[in-house]
Structure 1
Amino acid sequence: MQNVHTEKLSRATLMFPLALVLFEFSVYIGNDLVQPAMLAITQDFGVSSSWAPSSMSFYLLGGACVAAVLGPLSDRVGRKKVLLGGVAFFTLCCLAILLTHTIESFLTLRFLQGFGLSVISAVGYAAIQETFEERDAIKVMALMANISLLAPLLGPVLGAFLIDHVSWHWGFIGIALLSFLSWFGLKAKMPKQQRSMPKQPIGYILDDFKRVFKNKRFLGLTLGLPMVAMPLMLWIALSPVMLVEELGLSSMQYGLAQFPVLGGLIVGNIVLIKIIDKLPLGKTVLIGLPLMLIGTAAVLLGTVFPQYFLYSAILGMTLVSFGEGISFSVLYRFALMSSEVSKGTVAAAVSVLMMFCFFIVIELVRVLYEHFHIWAYGVSCFALIALWFSFPRGVLNSVLQQRKAEGEF
């Protein structure tokens, strides 16, 4: 097991998460700014708009494919080295995409840019969890989420501006610049990894992953994470097509429609930070998931009455995002701590499962959307949250009962 000295949250120790969240913001806006521009990008490449969601799914697939390597690698050579290398690689990929001339080469670079997602989740988040004490780590994750949420808030508006006034290429230039700046912040402020785990042969990596994936508690908590996050991911992936193509909103109206939805996630994270010290850890999840189920039911109702779909979708997704805000950081902490294996490997396993789930579900819903339109979106969102109340809910209950028995608040 990996034992790492933890620190209290303070102004001094907060500088590392702030440097990391600048990179996280770069990676997220690398999706949220690009997705609204995908209709223009597909036109430039002379292909159907049905390719638009693939930009996001290939981005996620790239993250899934490399996570299994980055986590264990950071256990052995140090989180800081891997994180700095990953930031530099992401920056170069953002510049390289400016040279693409076909949808195939564009999606290839999107796949490579997706490595940045695993740099954050398999390396950066593991470092946060190791650096800070339990509740401080959750507060930091929620605070980082709020800052990084500026990406989906600003991304659609900036994307609309780029489409209307300049070119989508400038978006990637801006993203590369932000990523480049974060590299300097991480180099200066990220603490070096303090580990008591001896370096082991590479062959032990497979054994570690086997131990993780045989852990039913890990599987239940980790499989629950994409169920919780997926409705909002689907909204980000499909809302350009739903709101602009189907409902006829302008690019700016589409951008403004994101504010209440993503604002709900910001408010949820703020509420989590405020109340986490007052409630047993995990209580917010038992509040948030029923709210998410109600929200997805409202979206589904909008598919029955399509003349009200815009209003019911925005209202429902605002509830969904608020519920995710008060739930996700806690569930992630429980998933990461569900195994005694080194945290880089556990974080990598979490990332692999989550991102493959994201890729598969987004591509599946994309295909279903071509045939069933908003029905595919509404039913998928409701089904994902309903599924959480099966195996993942049972595993969470067992975790909460164990924490109560051990006297952990």
Structure 2
Amino acid sequence: MQKVKTTTLSRATLMFPLALVLFEFSVYIGNDLVQPAMLAITKEFGVSSSWAPSSMSFYLLGGACVAWLLGPLSDRIGRKKVLLAGVLFFVLCCLLILLTQNIESFLALRFLQGIGLTVISAVGYAAIQETFEERDAIKVMALMANISLLAPLLGPVVGAFLIDHVSWHWGFIGIALLAFLSWFGLKAKMPESQVSIRKQPLSHIFYDFKKVYKNKRFLGMTLALPMVSMPLMLWIALSPVMLVEELGFSSMQYGLAQFPVLGGLILGNIVLIKIIDKLALGQSVLIGLPIMLLGSLVLVAGVIWQDYLIWCLIAGMTLLSFGEGISFSVLYRFALMSSEVSKGTVAAAVSMLLMFSFFFIIELVRVLYEQFHLIGYSMSCFILIALWFTFPRAILKQVLLERKQSGVF
């Protein structure tokens, strides 16, 4: 396992997370700026608009497919080396996509760009959790989430501007420049980790993953993550089609509709930072998930009472995103700390399960949406949140009970 001296949150120690969040912002806006442009891109390539959500799902699939390698590799050679190399690879892929001439090559480059997601989740987040104390690490994750949320807030508006006035190509040029800038910050401010893991054969990596995935607590906490975050991911993937094609929004109206939804997530993260020192760790999740369940019911109500559809869509998604904001960072911390295996491997295991879940659920809901439209989307959100109240909730209750019995607040 890698050893980084644990530190408390201060202005000086915050520089590394800020450099990392600049790269995270680049990777996220690499999706959020592109999604509103996908209708124009599919038209340019002469294919159906039903391909639009695939840009996001292939991006997520790319993130899932190399996590098994990058996490353990960062355990062995150091997180900083892997992170810096991953940033440069992402920059290169952003520039290469400018040369694509058809939807197949475009999606192939989206797949490769998605590796940036794994660089963040399997390497960057693991470094954050190791560097800071428990509650400080969660505060840093929530703070990073709020800064990176500028991507889905600004992305649709900037994407709409690019569609209307220039070309989607310029978006990728800007993303590449931002990511390259983050590389300099990470090189200067990311702490060096001391590699203390024993050299072992490649087969031992798979033994470690097997050990992680057999851990019931790990599975409960990690399966909770896509259940909690998937409704907003589905919104980002499908809202261009739902709002623009089905409901007749303009590109600018579509961009403005994202503000209350993503504002709910920002508010949720701010509330988490404010209350995390006042409640037992994990209590915010037990508050957030009932709010999310209510939000999913509001979505279903909007489909039933069509006169209130748009209001229910926005209000329901805002409640869902607020609940996610006060829940996700805590669940991620519990998932990462649920196994004694090296944290790069555990973070990679979380990332793979999360990204594969995102890919398959987005593709499944895309098909459901084609058949059933908004009722398919709304019921999918409701089912995802309802599932959290089964196995994941039971595991969380067990974790909270054990922490209470051991005197950990």
**TM-score under structure 2 normalisation?**
0.99
TM-superposed CA distance for 1:196, in Å, is 3.6
TM-superposed CA distance for 1:201, in Å, is 2.7
TM-superposed CA distance for 1:384, in Å, is 0.1
Q: Which residue of 1 aligns with 2:325?
A: 325
CA shift digits 1:348-370 (9 cap, x unpaired): 00000000000000000001111
Q: Which residue of 1 aligns with 2:91?
A: 91
Q: Which residue of 1 aligns with 2:11?
A: 11
Q: Which residue of 2 aligns with 1:67?
A: 67
Q: Tell whether the 8 Å contact from 2:2 to 2:78 is kept in structure 1 after alignment.
A: no
TM-superposed CA distance for 1:306, in Å, is 2.4
CA shift digits 1:11-53 (9 cap, x unpaired): 1110000000000000000000000000000000010000000
Tell me how far apart the structure 2 counterparts of residues 4 and 99 of structure 1 sit (CA, whole Å).
41
Q: Which residue of 2 aligns with 1:316?
A: 316
TM-superposed CA distance for 1:3, in Å, is 4.9
TM-superposed CA distance for 1:88, in Å, is 0.2
Q: Which residue of 2 aligns with 1:139?
A: 139
CA shift digits 1:314-336 (9 cap, x unpaired): 00110110000000000000000
Q: Tell whether the 8 Å contact from 1:62 to 1:112 is kept in structure 2 after alignment.
A: yes
Tell me how far apart the structure 2 counterparts of residues 305 and 168 of structure 1 sit (CA, whole Å).
37
TM-superposed CA distance for 1:2, in Å, is 5.3
Letter in 2 for 1:133: E
- Structure 1 residue matching 2:402: 3-state secondary structure: helix
Q: Which residue of 2 aligns with 1:356?
A: 356
CA shift digits 1:38-96 (9 cap, x unpaired): 00000000100000000000000000001111000000010000000000000000000
- Structure 1 residue matching 2:66: 3-state secondary structure: helix
Tell me how far apart the structure 2 counterparts of residues 270 and 202 of structure 1 sit (CA, whole Å).
42
Letter in 1 for 2:308: Y
Mapping of residues 362-373 of structure 1, within 5 Å: 362-373=362-373
TM-superposed CA distance for 1:5, in Å, is 2.2
Tell me how far apart the structure 2 counterparts of residues 195 and 104 of structure 1 sit (CA, whole Å).
40
Against the structure 1 CA distance between its residues 121 and 380, is the aligned structure 2 distance closer, same or farther, given a 3 Å change threshold? same
Q: Which residue of 2 aligns with 1:189?
A: 189
Q: Tell whether the 8 Å contact from 1:5 to 1:194 is kept in structure 2 after alignment.
A: no
Letter in 1 for 2:234: L
Q: Which residue of 1 aligns with 2:403?
A: 403
CA shift digits 1:235-280 (9 cap, x unpaired): 0000000000001010000000000000000000011111101110
Mapping of residues 6-405 of structure 1, within 5 Å: 6-405=6-405
Identity %: 80
Q: Tell whether the 8 Å contact from 2:222 to 2:332 is kept in structure 1 after alignment.
A: yes
Tell me how far apart the structure 1 counterparts of residues 201 and 296 of structure 2 sit (CA, whole Å).
47
- Structure 2 residue matching 1:46: 3-state secondary structure: coil
Tell me how far apart the structure 2 counterparts of residues 4 and 112 of structure 1 sit (CA, whole Å).
30
Q: How many residues align?
A: 409
Tell me how far apart the structure 2 counterparts of residues 194 and 330 of structure 1 sit (CA, whole Å).
27
Letter in 1 for 2:94: C
Letter in 1 for 2:231: P
Tell me how far apart the structure 2 counterparts of residues 343 and 166 of structure 1 sit (CA, whole Å).
44
Tell me how far apart the structure 2 counterparts of residues 209 and 279 of structure 1 sit (CA, whole Å).
33
Q: Tell whether the 8 Å contact from 1:4 to 1:196 is kept in structure 2 after alignment.
A: no
Q: Tell whether the 8 Å contact from 1:2 to 1:341 is kept in structure 2 after alignment.
A: no
Tell me how far apart the structure 2 counterparts of residues 290 and 347 of structure 1 sit (CA, whole Å).
27
- Structure 2 residue matching 1:53: 3-state secondary structure: helix
CA shift digits 1:76-122 (9 cap, x unpaired): 01000000000000000000000001000000000000000000000
CA shift digits 1:126-172 (9 cap, x unpaired): 00000000000000000000000000000000000000000000000
- Structure 1 residue matching 2:164: 3-state secondary structure: helix
Letter in 2 for 1:397: K
- Structure 2 residue matching 1:10: 3-state secondary structure: coil
- Structure 2 residue matching 1:198: 3-state secondary structure: coil
TM-superposed CA distance for 1:309, in Å, is 1.4
Tell me how far apart the structure 2 counterparts of residues 300 and 244 of structure 1 sit (CA, whole Å).
20
Tell me how far apart the structure 1 counterparts of residues 333 and 150 of structure 2 sit (CA, whole Å).
23
Tell me how far apart the structure 2 counterparts of residues 195 and 265 of structure 1 sit (CA, whole Å).
36
Letter in 1 for 2:292: M
* Further displaced range: 304-313 or 16-25: 304-313
Following TM superposition, the consecutive aligned residue runs of length 4 or more in structure 1 with deviations greater than 6 angstroms are none
- Aligned-residue CA RMSD in angstroms? 0.8
Q: Tell whether the 8 Å contact from 2:369 to 2:377 is kept in structure 1 after alignment.
A: yes
TM-superposed CA distance for 1:8, in Å, is 0.7
TM-superposed CA distance for 1:289, in Å, is 0.3
Q: Tell whether the 8 Å contact from 2:32 to 2:156 is kept in structure 1 after alignment.
A: yes
Q: Tell whether the 8 Å contact from 1:56 to 1:237 is kept in structure 2 after alignment.
A: yes
Letter in 2 for 1:55: S
Letter in 2 for 1:75: D
